[in-house]
Amino acid sequence: MSVFDATANPAGGKIVEVGIKRTDAMRGRLRMKAPDGEDLIVDLPRGMVMHDGDIFGPSAQGTYYRTRIEQEPVLRVTLKKTGDGRIGDALRLGYTLGNHHLEVLIEGERAYVPAVIGADKIERIIGKSGADVETEVIPWVISPGASGYFAGEE
C-alpha cells in the first residue's frame, strides 16, 4: 500500500495513469487499486484538491501515479442572444445556478454544469431563469482546480 499526502515531481521511473472521479478530486482524498495492482491512498491536507495530471509517488517499487479525472455527463449551456439582452440572460442564468447551489465551469461563452442531479432537472431549473439558452448533454472533464470552476457549496 502506498500513501501520499503531496504531489511529486518524478525524476524518472515508471508512471501509471489512474482514473479518478471529480468528486474524489474535490475532496483531496482517495483510496483505490491502481491498474498495476498497487493499493493507493491519497490524503491531501485539508482544503487541497487533486487536479487532472497531478503526479504522486514514488511507491516502494519506484512507480509514480498520474491522476486523470474521468469524463462525466455535463449539461453544456450556451446563450442564444447576441447584443441587447445577452448580459441580462447571463446574469439571470448565473443567479439561478448559484441560487440552486449547482456547480458550474465557465469557459469562454459557455457554462458546463455537471449532471449530478439529472440533466432534465437542471434544464427545468435553467428554464425558470427565463434566459434564452441552448443546452446539450455531453461527456466532459471538469477539473476542480480549473479557472472558471465554481463549486455549488462555496
Instruction: Report the pLDDT value the prediction gives residue 98, as an integer from 0 to 100.
Output: 93
Give the per-residue pLDDT at 85.
83
In whole angstroms, what is the distance from residue 33 CA to residue 90 CA? 43
Q: Quick one: pLDDT at residue 20?
A: 95
Q: Side by side, which strands form the sheet with 2-4?
A: 2-4, 39-43, 29-33
pLDDT of residue 152: 63
The per-residue pLDDT for range 93-119, each reduced to its tens digit, is: 999 999 999 999 998 889 999 999 999
Q: What is the pLDDT of residue 6?
A: 93
d(CA 100, CA 143): 21
pLDDT of amino acid 17: 96
Residue matched to cell numbers 508512471: 15
pLDDT of residue 72: 95
Residue type, 54: D
Backbone angles phi, psi at 30, to 5 degrees: -160, 140
The predicted pLDDT at position 111 comes to 94
Q: Which of 61, 69, 65 is nearest to 10 (CA)?
A: 65
Q: Which residue ranges in the chain fall short of pLDDT 70?
A: 152-154
pLDDT reported for residue 154: 47
- Structural domains of the chain, ranges and CATH numbers in brackets: 2-69 (2.60.260.20), 72-150 (3.30.70.790)
Q: What is the pLDDT of residue 13?
A: 83
Rg (CA), the chain: 19
